[in-house]
Amino acid sequence: MGRNRDAEYRSRVSGYYRQLMEQCQAHMDLMDNELPRAREDFGEVLKERGVTRRDFLKWTSAMTAALMLPPMFKPLVARAAENFSRLPVVWLHFAECTGCSEAFLRTSYPNVDDILLDTISLEYHETLMAAAGKQAEECLEKALADFPGKFVCVIEGAIPMGLNGQYLRLGPKGKTAIEIAKEVTSKAAATICIGSCSSFGNVQAANPNPTNAKGISDAIGIQTVNIAGCPPSPQNFVGTVLHFLMFGALPPTDNLGRPVWAYGKRIHDYCERRPHYDAGEYVEEWGDEGAKKGWCLYKMGCKGPYTYGNCAKVRFNDGTSWPIMAGHGCMGCTEPGFWDTMAPLEKPLTDKPIGGWGVTARIDKLGLALTAATAVGIGAHIIGTGAMNHGQPRKPESDDKADEGSHE
Amino acid sequence: MAQRIIVDPITRIEGHLRIEVELDEANTIKDAWSSITLWRGIETILKGRDPRDAPLMVQRFCGVCTYVHYEASILALEDAFGIRPPANARLVRNLIHAALYMTDHIMHFYHLHGLDWVDITKAITADPAKAEALARQYSDNPYNCAESHYRAVQKRLAKYVESGRLGPFANAYWGNGSYKLSPEANLVIVSHYLDALQVSKVGAQMMAIFGGKNPHPQTLVAGGITSAMDMLDAHRIGEYQFRLNQLKNFIETAYLPDLIMAAGAYKDEGLAGVGAGVKNYVCYGGFPLDDQWNKTLLPRGVVVNGDIANPQPLDEAKIAEEVTHSWYKGDKPLHPYEGTTDPEYTGYDANGNVKGDEKYTWCKGPTYDGQPFEVGPLARMVLGYAQGDERIKPLVDSTLQATGLPAAVLFSTLGRTAARGLETKLVADYTQNWINELIANIKAGDTRTWTRCDVPKSGKGRGMVEVPRGALGHWIVIEDHVISNYQAIVPSTWNCAPRNQEGKRGPYEESLIGTKLANADQPLEILRTIHSFDPCMACAVHIIRPDTDEIKQFRVL
């Protein structure tokens, strides 16, 4: 791209961004009055954890870029970070394994993502809270009463729809997961699905899906933002919450509800082993010379070419590693129905010996989903489309992935 | 008049558990029932799949005990395929698993179980100078110990309380008469509660170095491991070593001293045997010290009825699951290879209580020789002690000596919690040997990470291993190259088991009998004992059947 075209582009969008910034500022002023006061001084917390002002600014730049915002938004990202702990959060667990909570609570150190997750204002979270039984339920009721329309509902886990939802009943009143999800999300400012269970159903929804488990959006017909992955990178959650704090709306998503800023690109295109794919250098069996040299894992069943996510970039556990670095290959865990569409996990997709479940249909469906996701990915720079009514009933025309998670 | 108490949800555990107890007039527990309230059905989903897909799938039983089902399933496959992984793969697996043990136990003690012993609100009234002096009584160089630091922690807590928004600390049982620690002891342990949040992240990174990520590592395959590049990289081994030292430091200067301090305050409970339970213990052996699993760091065997003078060898044929009180059809105990899962839901009674004489949980009832058995760190320490294990016996003896308590104190809630701490030290200390062995192997030119293998047309195999919460077994049957049956008996299934055929209570249930509640509205003592097992419900309810039309009236209350 030439210098002139670059300048032209900048002048064309600067007006748009200036307007967006004003919106953002106005929204944050409003939030300053509305959010409960902070429990802890954010600056002090950073200092306590050994994060310098310079580290924080570096993080702000990186986060601003990751969110696909221009650099002038950096101060606003910083301001949103300071408000992070003021946002009341109700975190629900349904049919799941708590891996996402684990991922979020023992992420990296001492970086800012992690500190934000530690300071999050959890009003209800079964794995962590001290109260139990009746007293736990009171916490939930109190959060709904104290912060109506203001808290963010985070959901971990799928909803078993079979038996009218009675595979999972919770609390002293024995409510079904369906009832609880409807009640809480209807009062939430927004609903964020953490992980592939709440996003798309995940493992319990794999064929033959004995409990008819579904992701939240499919189960109760609301629009959610889906932080897919099993588990996903915590940064994808942090960025999504920051976006919410800045604009009062969740970030733009692809047609599967995944934030484009985090899930807009293919694993394969950012993979550190990609040059070996291009050079035709493959691991041919586990533990061979190629494995020791870090060659491409496509022939060992890596699903990076079919999977959207930023794993290659952000990695896991403070950038320690990620599955492809560990020599295993990607299994496609950010994609709906991956246990079926990507199986067998240790073989390339062209070579699928599982009998009886309509292999061709699966490949077609996968192809369609990928095409659609790419289309969204390309046109995805528009942050202003934030008015998505999260937590409100979904419009019928956006209901284009009704059976994506269920593979009948 | 007898009073029923229902605690649902039990929080600070993985998953969805209900405990129902019957109290007498003096608030003493006369009877108890544990009931699991969620089904997910992963084993049904496994049927018909490529066996090599099972390990990654069953890992999703649980994200708290991440990795363990992955490894057990891989071991079952290797048994079915008739192969063993090379030494390097065994060592790398031990390194990943060791990091999990340390991380999981630390997190359990502070974040899941700690608040049953520690009253956070009392910490605010402590004298920070006295707290420093107290910490120094239990360690030469206590972790993060300074009057100024304790003062800062106190300030942070006070702000929390003043804000009126306690978040996860809200509405708990603060001030309950059953909390026994001094304000200063509370403050020291609370400060480590915060430190442990950071430390457990270091442990997760250790798992990720060779495992790709945590939770849910992605590096094991039948026959070996895939992280050959990391294993051959001296820098990666160094990254692991550095973090191991950090964890060991925390274990030596925070976890164990805090445990000893708490044991002093709660020793009367321990001596009275509160929370003892069934006193039958079974272990499968864990952390192989050689490629044939002839020697393991964690013991294999059985102790019956608390008889530590007569430990017995493990007979795998005696393991069975029965469904007398579980919502499944069946009239006789079955070995996991033959296991069936036909649901027969009978609901709760008209008052919303469990039908204790009939079926009342989705949890099956594993038995050994027909009897309920406890699994977990206490089982391992009791068995190792009974076997005179060269590492476990001296570790237990020296701790008993330091606290001046008799061996009988092991059979209690306190003993269960202490056993977990001792085991953490055992594993942390031994891990260095695996690093050394791995380096020696690579230096000698052995860089093998995988044993060649393929899926047989038919076969069966089992993977049995000790994991942080106890004995874990996976059993797989392969027909026509795909999975035809898959059963897992996980630690929480053993511990959460309902009554057996003879009406003998399961481990959770039995451990609650005779416990007196200080306040019937605050089931603190129930939580303390149940948490001491480190329950993990997602693991325990992996069995679902699709043909459930007959289950019509499902009420939990």
Q: Which residue in chain A is spatially nearest to B56 when comparing CA positions?
A: A345
A residues 336-395 closer than 8 Å to B (CB): 339, 343-347, 353-357
Interface contact flag, A211 B40, Cβ < 8 Å: yes
* pLDDT one-digit tens code per residue, A137-176: 788 888 889 889 989 999 999 998 987 776 676 666 667 8
Rounded to a whole number of angstroms, the distance from the CA of A204 to the nearest CA of chain B is 6
Higher pLDDT, A272 or B114: A272
* pLDDT one-digit tens code per residue, A80-93: 988 888 888 888 88
Interface contact flag, B168 A130, Cβ < 8 Å: yes
| Beta-bridge partners for A253 | A259
pLDDT in the model for residue A374: 35
- From chain A, the residues in CB contact with B115 under 8 A are 130
User: What distance in Å separates the CA atoms of residue A371 and residue B444, rounded to the nearest whole number?
Assistant: 51
* pLDDT one-digit tens code per residue, A104-142: 766 554 567 767 776 677 776 665 566 666 777 788 888
Interface contact flag, B39 A167, Cβ < 8 Å: yes
Residue A351 has pLDDT above 60, yes or no: no
To which H or E segment does residue B205 belong?
helix B183-211
- From chain A, the residues in CB contact with B120 under 8 A are 130
Interface contact flag, B42 A171, Cβ < 8 Å: no
**Residue B83 — very low, low, confident or very high, per pLDDT cuts 50/70/90?**
very high
Contacts of B206 (CB under 8 A, 6+ apart): B95, B96, B99, B103, B240, B243, B244, B247
- From chain B, the residues in CB contact with A121 under 8 A are 165, 167
B residues 137-166 closer than 8 Å to A (CB): 152, 156, 159-160, 163, 165
**Residue A100 — very low, low, confident or very high, per pLDDT cuts 50/70/90?**
confident
- From chain B, the residues in CB contact with A327 under 8 A are 219, 226-230
pLDDT in the model for residue A126: 63
User: What distance in Å separates the CA atoms of residue B334 and residue B319, rounded to the nearest whole number?
Assistant: 8
Instruction: Tell whether A96 lies on the interface with B, counting CB pairs under 8 A.
Output: yes
* pLDDT one-digit tens code per residue, A355-391: 333 333 333 343 334 433 333 332 232 232 333 333 3
Mean pLDDT on A291-308:
95
User: What distance in Å separates the CA atoms of residue B463 and residue B54, rounded to the nearest whole number?
Assistant: 13
Rounded to a whole number of angstroms, the distance from the CA of B223 to the nearest CA of chain A is 9
The residues of B annotated with a catalytic role in the active site are: 14, 62, 65, 69, 469, 492, 536, 539
Q: Which residue in chain A is spatially nearest to B166 when comparing CA positions?
A: A123
Q: Which residues of B461-479 are buried (b: 16+ CB within 10 A; e: fewer)?
A: bbbbbbbbbbbbbbbbbbe
pLDDT in the model for residue A358: 33
Helices and strands (H, E) in chain A, number of each type: 18, 9
- From chain A, the residues in CB contact with B226 under 8 A are 286-287, 291, 326-328
- From chain B, the residues in CB contact with A157 under 8 A are none
Instruction: Tell whether B235 lies on the interface with A, counting CB pairs under 8 A.
Output: no
Instruction: Tell whether A126 lies on the interface with B, counting CB pairs under 8 A.
Output: yes
Instruction: Tell whether A172 lies on the interface with B, counting CB pairs under 8 A.
Output: yes
Rounded to a whole number of angstroms, the distance from the CA of A97 to the nearest CA of chain B is 4
Rounded to a whole number of angstroms, the distance from the CA of A196 to the nearest CA of chain B is 11
Mutate one of A45, A118, A129, A302 to test the B interface: name it (highest B CB count within 10 A).
Answer: A129
pLDDT in the model for residue A12: 74
Q: How far is CA A358 from the centre of its chain?
A: 29
Q: Tokens standing for A323?
A: 């599955």
Interface contact flag, B226 A174, Cβ < 8 Å: no
* pLDDT one-digit tens code per residue, B119-171: 988 999 999 999 999 999 999 999 999 999 999 999 888 877 776 656 666 66
Question: CA distances (Å), B53 to each of A284, A339, B435, in order?
Answer: 18, 9, 29
* pLDDT one-digit tens code per residue, B386-410: 999 999 999 999 999 988 899 999 9
Mutate one of A328, A338, A340, A341 to test the B interface: name it (highest B CB count within 10 A).
Answer: A328
**Residue A4 — very low, low, confident or very high, per pLDDT cuts 50/70/90?**
confident
Q: What percent of chain B has pLDDT over 70?
A: 91
- From chain B, the residues in CB contact with A232 under 8 A are none
Per residue, what are the HEC states of B440-474? Answer: HHHHCCCCCCECCCCCCCCEEEEEEEEECCEEEEE
Interface A-B, measured as beta-carbon pairs within 8 A, has a size of: 322
pLDDT in the model for residue B9: 59
Q: In the sheet that B17-23 helps form, which strands lie side by side, from edge to edge?
A: B3-7, B17-23, B29-36
DSSP-assigned letter for residue B325: T
Mutate one of B45, B59, B198, B537 to test the A interface: name it (highest A CB count within 10 A).
Answer: B45
Residue/partner pairs of A110-113 with CB below 8 Å, 24 or more apart = A110/A49, A110/A50, A110/A51, A110/B198, A111/A51, A111/A55, A111/A59, A111/A318, A112/A46, A112/A51, A112/A55, A112/A56, A112/A59, A112/A63, A112/A81, A113/A59, A113/A234, A113/A235, A113/A238
User: What distance in Å separates the CA atoms of residue B4 and residue A182, rounded to the nearest whole number?
Assistant: 30
Residue B175 has pLDDT above 50, yes or no: yes
Rounded to a whole number of angstroms, the distance from the CA of B231 to the nearest CA of chain A is 9
pLDDT in the model for residue A377: 31
**Structural domain spans, chain B:** 3-540
Nearest residue, CB atoms, A343 vs list B41, B44, B53: B53
* pLDDT one-digit tens code per residue, A226-250: 999 999 988 899 899 999 999 988 8
Mutate one of B151, B218, B250 to test the A interface: name it (highest A CB count within 10 A).
Answer: B218
Instruction: Tell whether B6 lies on the interface with A, counting CB pairs under 8 A.
Output: yes
Rounded to a whole number of angstroms, the distance from the CA of A76 to the nearest CA of chain B is 25
pLDDT in the model for residue A375: 32
Interface contact flag, A339 B57, Cβ < 8 Å: yes
Q: What percent of chain A has pLDDT over 90?
A: 44
pLDDT in the model for residue A260: 95
Instruction: Tell whether B87 lies on the interface with A, counting CB pairs under 8 A.
Output: no
Mutate one of A85, A93, A106 to test the B interface: name it (highest B CB count within 10 A).
Answer: A106
DSSP sequence for B10-25: --SSBS-EEEEEEE-T
pLDDT in the model for residue B11: 58
User: What distance in Å separates the CA atoms of residue A343 and residue A334, rounded to the nearest whole number?
Assistant: 14
Max distance between CA atoms of chain B, in angstroms, equals 74
A residues 222-281 closer than 8 Å to B (CB): 230-231
Least confident of A185-199, A394-408, B27-41, B338-352: A394-408
- From chain A, the residues in CB contact with B203 under 8 A are 106
Interface contact flag, A132 B555, Cβ < 8 Å: no
What is the third-level CATH fold of A15-263+381-398? Answer: Rossmann fold (3.40.50)
Residues A267-375, CATH architecture: Irregular (4.10)
Nearest residue, CB atoms, A127 vs list B12, B156, B203: B12
Instruction: Tell whether A178 lies on the interface with B, counting CB pairs under 8 A.
Output: no
> For A35-154, where are the alpha helices, taking DSSP H only?
42-48, 53-66, 74-83, 99-105, 112-119, 133-146
pLDDT in the model for residue A210: 84
Interface contact flag, B11 A129, Cβ < 8 Å: yes
* pLDDT one-digit tens code per residue, A334-343: 999 999 999 9
pLDDT in the model for residue A390: 37
B3-540 carries CATH number 3.40.50.2020: no
Higher pLDDT, A394 or B389: B389
Residue A206 has pLDDT above 70, yes or no: yes
Rounded to a whole number of angstroms, the distance from the CA of B298 to the nearest CA of chain A is 26
To which H or E segment does residue A195 belong?
helix A195-200
Mean pLDDT on A14-40:
87
Which span out of A88-97, B117-126, B284-293 was modeled with the highest average pLDDT?
A: B284-293
User: What distance in Å separates the CA atoms of residue B542 and residue A95, rounded to the nearest whole number?
Assistant: 11
A residues 281-300 closer than 8 Å to B (CB): 285-287, 291-294
Interface contact flag, B63 A132, Cβ < 8 Å: no
Q: Tokens standing for A174?
A: 């024995």
Q: Tokens standing for A173?
A: 């009143």
- From chain B, the residues in CB contact with A125 under 8 A are 168
pLDDT in the model for residue A385: 31
Instruction: Tell whether B224 lies on the interface with A, counting CB pairs under 8 A.
Output: yes
pLDDT in the model for residue B471: 97
The rounded mean pLDDT for chain A is: 80
ipTM of the complex: 0.88
Q: How far is CA B304 from the centre of its chain?
A: 20
| Four-CA torsion B277, B278, B284, B287, nearest 10 degrees | 20
Q: Tokens standing for B185?
A: 């002891």
Residue B65 has pLDDT above 70, yes or no: yes
Q: What percent of chain B has pLDDT over 90?
A: 67
